[in-house]
Amino acid sequence: MATAAKIPAFDPAFEDQLLASVDRWIERDVAPIARQCDHDDIWPESLVAGMAELGLFGATIAPEWGGLGLPATTYVKIVARICETWMSPTGIFNSHLMLAHCLERFGTRAQKAKWLPRLARGELRGGLALTEPGAGTDLQGITTNARRDGDHYVLNGAKTWITNALHGDVVAMLVKTDPQAEPRHTGMSLFVVDKPRPGLGIGGKLPKMGYRGIDTAPMFLDDVRIPADQLIGEVEGQGFYQATGGLELGRINVAARGVGMAEGALKLAAAYARERRTMGKAIADHQAIALQLGEMVTRARAARLLTLDAAEIYDRGGRCDMEAGMAKYFASEAARDNAEAAMRIFGGNGYSKDYDIERFYRDAMLLIIGEGTNEMQRLIVAKQWMKRTA
């Protein structure tokens, strides 16, 4: 597996300023609309301009192409901060940056010059189109295909669970250019697919238990013609490596979401435990509640340290699939466990939509099954540990 390029030294003072700006944006723009947008499944259009102003659409894109060039350690702190309040907005720029990552790491210089500056400014917003109705964790099982026709490729098939499918402009789409290839992954290629294009259809927003407000939708391709120069790297058969090459960063990102949600649930529970009184004292002073809070604090801190550990290795250019898998697994479970513990502390109020904690519980479940299930993470961790200690 290829490793990430080493990130140059980063100015801590700029990080502090950036995080302070993100905090102000969360308080001013995100927190006031989170509950209503979640309940009514409303795409938070008002937040997009603020994300662009903060540079979030170019957060990890190199300054050469107009981005901020943030190291993963800074990026995860931003994601965690937002997820302390509401996880869904991070999907708008996280999926976008996965597309940018594929282009920046594997695209030709002409492809980078064409797409990356506009992506960094937020003029184009994108995502990653990998999953299909019959292929999720097993990416080699995809059936969407592309055949060469002169200076174009013709694409047919279907994708699903695509973030930014409705309100975005472009995706990196994984297809089969040689369905008969063995091993199967050698016949896969990654294309930049922009819209609108004849034959490209976008389905309605998928109804979801959590992660609401985000435009997750299926895509349908019926003889969609894509210029050959939109094949990333302009060499067939490299798509599987290109798509999975960003999964380390993707799993670190999901871990960062888990960190934010674990810490957000803890803050909600602690605030409620200070205010709620029974038997003449705050429930935080009851031993049963204090024990739960102690566990929540420990889980949140451990999740943060595991995630920063993986991010630091990624920034050094080292292989971190094991560390990213551990962080993703533990932090997502910590988010779910802290949300459940917080609901217990809230009692009946935790089950009410008048309080935000029920949203944390619903959203946390996505982290456990998304970006590779936690069962898969445990297998990756075990396999890599056995290799490293052989």
Catalytic residues: 371
Query: Cα(32)–Cα(24) distance, rounded to whole angstroms?
Result: 12
Query: Cα(203)–Cα(57) distance, rounded to whole angstroms?
Result: 25
Query: Cα(60)–Cα(56) distance, rounded to whole angstroms?
Result: 8
Q: How far is CA 368 from CA 178, 243, 328, 362, in A?
A: 33, 20, 8, 11
Q: How far from the centroid of its chain's Cα atoms is residue 283's Cα? A: 36
Q: Select from 245, 266, 221 the least CA-distant residue to 324.
A: 245
What are the tokens at 37? 């947008």
Residues 6+ apart with CB under 8 A from 320: 3, 248, 252, 310, 313, 314
Helical pair 287-315 and 321-346, crossing angle rounded to 10 deg:
160
- One DSSP character per residue, 330-371 reads HHHHHHHHHHHHHHHHHGGGGGSTTSTHHHHHHHHHHHHHSS
